[in-house]
A and B are shown apart, each in its own frame.
Chain A
Amino acid sequence: MSNALADPLTIADKSFTSRLLIGSGTYPNQQAMLDAIRESGAQIVTVAIRRISLDGGGETVLDALGGDYTILPNTAGCYTAKDAVLTAQLGREALETNWVKLEVIGDRETLYPDTEHLLTAAEELVRDGFTVLPYSTDDPIVCRKLEDVGCAAVMPLGSPIGSGMGLLNPYNLEIIRAQTALPVVVDAGIGTASDVVLAMELGCDAVMAASAVGRARDPVIMARAIRHALEAGRLAYRGGRIPKKRHGEASSPGRGVIGT
């Protein structure tokens, strides 16, 4: 990213030149995952924490990824604060990181976060020394409460997980951006590059993408598109868009036109 070094993403005590958090699931195969993640330029990769098979076989996703990424364990699949806290603690032990992407899901159909459990888990994990990145609704009040309990970022959804519907309420995201000092990471709902550009133009600091890349027709090409979208959108935000007006305003001088 041009100017990237001068414009890093900082979450807690870490800085990144890429503004993308990328998932490690949903790809057609493992090699496609490795290629797409590399192409995306992402430095933060999320993984789930799951029971091992007691019958052996297989390598972990981390053996495949190698040591080049900041691995962010998530609590995906947890429906209660209790399970999410234990999963975060297991992730910390397994991966030797105190970072966690906190997800507490409310129901299977919408995959919307359970805000009550999310706040409880966030508070407990912060007390336990975690750097908490909570996946939440795009509700400014919820985001403020998450900030109040000591989270390291807020991660409001654009639309439901895996829906690809983009940013359904950009106005809320703008409000969240304006009110918080924390990094704002748009999580969930990204469908294609323009959604990423919009998130960046709104001033959000980063984007989390999983299905948008892994389920694309060509995940590697889409990974590159997302990388460029982050750069374009971030630069557009910093460059500053012009005001929208109802009438035209010529961009060439009005005087000296021939034939007048």
Chain B
Amino acid sequence: MTGEIPKSPTAPGPRVAIIGGGVCGLGIGWRLAAAGCRVEVFERDKTGRAASWAAAGMLAARAEAEPLEDTLLELNLKSQRMWPEWAQEVEAAAGMALDYRDEGTLIVAVTRDDVEQLHFHHELLRGFGLEVEWLSGAETRRREPFLSPKTSAGVYSAGDHQVDNRKLVTALELAYLDAGGALYEETEVTRVEIANGAARGVFAGDELHEADVVVLAAGAWSREIPGLPASARPPIRPIKGQMVALQMDPSAPLIRHVVWVPGAYLAPRLDGRLIIGATVEEKGFDTDVTAGGVLNLLLNTWEALPGIDELPLVESWVGFRPTSRDDAPILGPSPVEGLVMATGHHRNGILLAPITIDAVSDYILKGRLDAAVRPFGIDRFRLSEVEQRGAA
């Protein structure tokens, strides 16, 4: 694979243009600016208001593990282990708290069919070698007393924590600006400038911003950035998710763990907000919050946690998971020299922020790619036989 990072003899580091001002773009910008690079971040909206804002902030490498995703699980676990220390580093750089919570995650079963499904999931997680604990209904309720009396079983994952992702956005923006990065909000990249197979910068409107390295961190929009050759267009589609937030009394919250009930997950924030997500819809960039979507989230939650009945519903929103063919991210070099990928994180963007940000900035600064992210290059799709047949 090409994608060597050009060394500039005069500047302390390469000039970098980053497409996308979400957690990945801001985080990479922060690291590079702090290392002395001249960095520009281009964000089509306000910073971090897409998937980074919509997310629930769950760092759930274990509870969310899925069949056939062993390689991704390794990456998720590695990033999960980085999180506590990484959070402290961000907090120190930004001078604000991220509300990291480490109570762990409970997966809850109510009906008989739920228990069967939970057994299946528990076996899957154990098969992956993950430390998760099977709990009786009574033990589950002892840990979260407001769960329905019908709660019949639970699985506890101590290692799956959460963070307030909106605070993370704000903190990374502060850290980035503080490190001297330039931020262009509401500025769409109209074209990636490529000459002789190498990225030379990006156009914002009619103006060329020259750069030695261009980072594609545009989330669900990554496939649609103009100017990319087919081989460097990441196969990413948006998967719509609807979410709602209820307001609990922060001094007497209904739950303290992240709780998965059948058909919804609940992330309780320190400020009392209870984040409930999320639908999974192949609907392109459709931004509607629908009656059916909210109904399902609330009904599924209410069945397991009837105490939500009286809570005010304070917000509802839609986000777009940037999803590749295999649900895994696309990281590192591309067939275009100087064009680096940091996108396609599906539902794991917050979880994978530390490894993505550190590995991609390291690669840009030192030209070495962390072994942990090597399986996640865009070349894995190019080599796919099915892909080639589809293109033929």
Contact = CB atoms under 8 A, between A and B. Distances in A.
Given A28-B327, A63-B390, A66-B386, A58 B284 contact: yes
B67 A56 contact: no
B68 A28 contact: yes
A55 B69 contact: no
Dominant secondary structure of chain A at its interface with chain B: loop
Contact of B285 (A28, A34, A56, A219): A56
Given A28-B68, A217-B120, A220-B68, A53 B386 contact: no
A55 B123 CA distance: 40
A219 B124 CA distance: 12
A64 B66 CA distance: 21
A29 interface: yes
A54 interface: yes
Interface string A79-117: 000000000000000000000000000000000000000
A246 B111 CA distance: 41
Interface residues of A, number: 28
Interface string B371-392: 0000000000000101001100
A219 B284 CA distance: 26
B326 interface: yes
B223 to A, nearest CB: 8
B286 interface: yes
Dominant secondary structure of chain B at its interface with chain A: loop
Contact of B237 (A58, A65, A216, A219): A58
A216 B286 CA distance: 30
B390 A66 contact: yes
B284 A56 contact: yes
B129 interface: no
A218 B68 contact: yes
A249 interface: no
A220 B68 CA distance: 8
Given A58-B237, A58-B284, A34 B68 contact: no
B20 to A, nearest CB: 16
A31 B323 CA distance: 12
Contacts, number: 75
Contacts of A29: 66, 68-69, 323, 325-327
Interface string A4-41: 00000000000000000000000011111011001000
A217 B284 contact: no
A30 B235 CA distance: 11
B262 interface: no
Nearest to A33: B325
Contacts of B175: none
Given A64-B325, A217-B123, A217-B127, A53 B67 contact: no
Contacts of B282: 50, 53, 58
Contacts of A216: 67
Most chain B CB within 10 A, of A38, A59, A219, is at: A59
21 contacts: A29-B66, A30-B325, A30-B326, A30-B327, A31-B326, A34-B386, A38-B386, A53-B282, A53-B284, A55-B285, A56-B284, A57-B220, A57-B224, A57-B238, A58-B282, A59-B237, A66-B386, A216-B67, A217-B67, A217-B123, A217-B127
Interface of B: 66-69, 120, 123-124, 127, 220, 224, 235, 237-238, 282-287, 323, 325-327, 384, 386, 389-390
